[in-house]
Amino acid sequence: MTFKISIVNIKRISNYLIYFGLMSALVGNSTSEDLNGKYCNPDCSDPISHLTLNSNMTFSFSTMLFGGMSRSGNWSLTKENNIKINTLEIFSPKKAYQIPPPQIISILSNGNLKFGNTLYTKE
């Protein structure tokens, strides 16, 4: 049994390979524009905590836990398709907090975020 490979078939095969290669590279990769917005826990109708990612690559975080606390700083997208946040300011009316080292937030396939063990849904 012999196979005839024509130029048309070679072009067709290479087009498929290029298409599937591009699709696999694009699937699962977020952009900062996709991530901008407000994320809430447990939901945005009555949040205990919320995280806002701004288009200028800054963030703000607020929680009612621990007697209330808010913090802000900047964020970036990592090569691993996670979010790295750098806290620059913390405010708490009841307790002094030390600024933490940079932290990683996981981007889940459904567009939600996981910060530690806590899930945040987008508004």
Query: Is the distance from CB of 48 to CB of 118 less than 8 angstroms?
Result: no
pLDDT at 29 (0 to 100): 60
Higher-scoring residue by pLDDT: 98, 29? 98
Q: Is the pLDDT of residue 68 over 50?
A: yes
pLDDT at 16 (0 to 100): 46
Query: What is the tens place of the pLDDT at every residue in 80-116?
Result: 889 999 999 999 988 788 899 999 999 998 989 999 9
Write a three-state SS string for 77-115: ECCCCEEEEEEEEEECCCCCCCCCCCEEEEECCCCCEEE
Query: What is the tens place of the pLDDT at every residue in 72-81?
Result: 999 999 988 8
Q: Is the pLDDT of residue 7 over 50?
A: yes
Q: What domains does the chain contain, in order, with CATH numbers?
A: 32-122 (2.40.128.280)
Prior bond of 101 cis (ω within 30°): no
CA distances for 118 relative to 39, 41, 48, 96, angstroms: 11, 8, 11, 23
Other residues' Cβ atoms within 10 Å of the Cβ of residue 75:
20
CA distances for 61 relative to 4, 12, 28, 46, 51, angstroms: 63, 50, 25, 15, 4
